[in-house]
Amino acid sequence: MQWHYSIKLSEQYHPQTIRDLLQKTWLLSRKVVHFLRINERVLINARYRPMNTVVQKGDQIDLTFDTADFTTPAPPFDLDLSKQPDVLFETNDLIVVNKPSGIKTHANQPHELGSMMNILQGYFKNTNFASYNVHRLDQWTSGVLLVAKNPVVVPILSRQISQKIIQRTYLCIVEGTFDVANGTIDRSIGFDPLDQRKRQIDGQDALNAITHYRVLENRGQTALVQIQLETGRTHQIRVHMASIGHPIVGDPLYNPQSTDFPMRLHSWKIKFPLPFNINSKEIDAPIPNYFEK
C-alpha cells in the first residue's frame, strides 16, 4: 500500500534544503527520509533532485510513502461496531474525537474490544484508513483525543508531542479551595512499588514532570482548575494535584474517599500544526454536564 502527498509550498515557506524541509519542518524521521531518497520517491516540480536542493515558496513537492517504510504499517486493534465516535475534527491524516469517561484509549490485550481505537477501527470499516495511537487519556478522563489515520503521520504527531509543539489544556475539579490563583508543580513521578496501577512522587524509575495550573473558580469545598502539561507522564495531573493536597473529585486511585463519580478530569483543548502544513488547528471538546456546579 502507498500514500501519496502533493504539496505546493505557500508564501510562508522560507528557502531551505529538501532534507531540512522533510526532517526539520515536516518532522519526518531520518529513516523515512532515507527511504524516500534511495527510492526517489520525493519529487520537486515533478523531478527527483538531490536532498541538498533548495526549495522555496511556489515549489511543488510530491511524496510517496510505502508500507515498507514503517515498522508498524497496520495497527493491532480489532474493529468494534458497537458504538459511534463523537468526531470533533477529521482530515485524511488524522481524526480528533471526544472520548467519554470510562472508555479506554486503546486495548491492552489481543482481540480486546471496547476501546476508542477499536471503535475507530469500526468507524473506518470499508475505507483505506485505520486508527493509530498517538497519545492516550486515562480510562476515566474524558475529552479531546488525537488519533492518526495512517502510518505516515504517526511519527510526525509523536514528534510534535515530544517536542512540546502540541499544546494540551485540561479542566479538573479538585478537593478544597486555593488562596493563590496560579502555580507550577515540578515533582518527578515514578512507579508505586506497592500497587502496579499507581504512580507516585519520586517513585521507582521516576521521570521529571511539570504541571502548570490556574484556578478558575473556588466552589466552596472544591475548585475548578485549568491545567497545562509541560510533560506527559502517566497519571501526571492526578498525582500532582493529589501531592499538593487537592486530589481530583471522583478519582478512584488517588482520592479513594470520593464517591462522586465519574472522575472530574477533562481533556478540554488541543492545538497542533497540521501535518505537511504550516497552519495550526485548535479543537475543544464540550465540557461534560457533570462539571457544572
Cα of 17 vs its chain's centroid, Å: 29
Question: Can you tell me the mean pLDDT for 275-287?
Answer: 94
Q: Which CATH class is domain 168-267?
A: alpha beta
Q: Do domains 2-69 and 71-163 have the same CATH topology?
A: no
CA dist., res. 158 & res. 89, Å (int): 18
Give the pLDDT of residue 103: 96
pLDDT at residue 37 tops 90: yes
At 66, is the secondary structure helix, strand, or coil?
strand
Could you tell me the pLDDT band of residue 247, with boundaries at 50, 70 and 90?
A: very high
Helices (H), 115-253: 116-123, 154-162, 236-243
CA dist., res. 165 & res. 9, Å (int): 21
H/E element holding 36?
helix 30-38
Q: Which CATH class is domain 2-69?
A: alpha beta
Percentage of residues in the chain with pLDDT exceeding 90? 92
CA dist., res. 254 & res. 246, Å (int): 10
Give the pLDDT of residue 272: 96
What's the pLDDT tens digit per position in 44-58?
999 999 999 999 999
What's the pLDDT tens digit per position in 115-155?
999 999 999 999 999 999 999 999 999 999 999 999 999 99
CA dist., res. 263 & res. 221, Å (int): 16
Place of cell 541538498: 52
Could you tell me the pLDDT band of residue 71, with boundaries at 50, 70 and 90?
A: confident
Query: pTM of the prediction?
Result: 0.92
Cβ count near 125 (within 10 Å): 10
pLDDT at residue 182 tops 70: yes
CA dist., res. 202 & res. 189, Å (int): 5
Tell me the catalytic residues: 138
Longest dimension (CA), the chain: 67
State the fold for domain 71-163.
Answer: Pseudouridine synthase (3.30.2350)
What ranges do the domains of the chain cover? Answer: 2-69, 71-163, 168-267
